Amino acid sequence: PGSCRSNLPPPPCPRSNPADDFFRNARSGWPIWLQHVLRESGALRRLEDTLILFGIPSLIKEYPDSFRDFIELSTNRRNDSVRSKLSQIRYGSNNMQFIDLIEPINRNSDPLSPNGVIAFVHGGAWGSGQPWMYRLVSLPFLAMNKAVAIIGYRT
C-alpha cells in the first residue's frame, strides 16, 4: 500500500537536549497534593498534551514529510505515500476511551485485507497523550499491509 518510508532513521535521543526535561523538572518541585489535584481534575493532562505541540517544529525539521503524512492519515486523504482509512471506535463512556483504527486501502480507496493488526497503547504514564499524537507510527505497518489500532484510555 504505497511507498511509506519504513526505513527512516531513528528519531534523535530526547536526552540530547536538556531543555526537553523542563516540564518534568519544574513539576518535581510541586507539592504532592497539588500534583494530585491537577491530575484528578484533568488539568495536568490538558497542559501536558498542549505542551507537546511545541515539539512539532522539531519533528518537521527532522522529518519534512511528517506533517503532510499526519494530515493525510488524519483526514483520509490519499497520495502515493499514505493510503489509509481512519476510523474511531468507542469502547467506553469516557471521552478518552476510543481506538483510532488505521487500515490500509488500495489506489481505488477499496479496503485491503490487512495482514494482521498492530495494537499500540501510547505512552504518557497513564496521565497524558492521545491517540492522534501517535498516528505517524502506523506508516511502516501500513507499508506492510497491517492495520494499526492506537488505543486511547482514561486516567
| pLDDT string in tens for the chain (155-residue length) | 444 455 566 665 555 555 556 666 666 778 888 888 887 887 877 887 787 788 788 888 888 888 888 888 888 666 555 578 889 999 999 888 899 999 988 766 666 677 889 999 986 665 667 888 889 999 999 888 899 999 988 76
- pTM assigned to the model: 0.69
DSSP letter for each residue of 10-74:
PPPPGGG-GGGGHHHHHHHTS-HHHHHHHHHHTHHHHHHHHHGGGGHHHHHHHSTTHHHHHHHHH
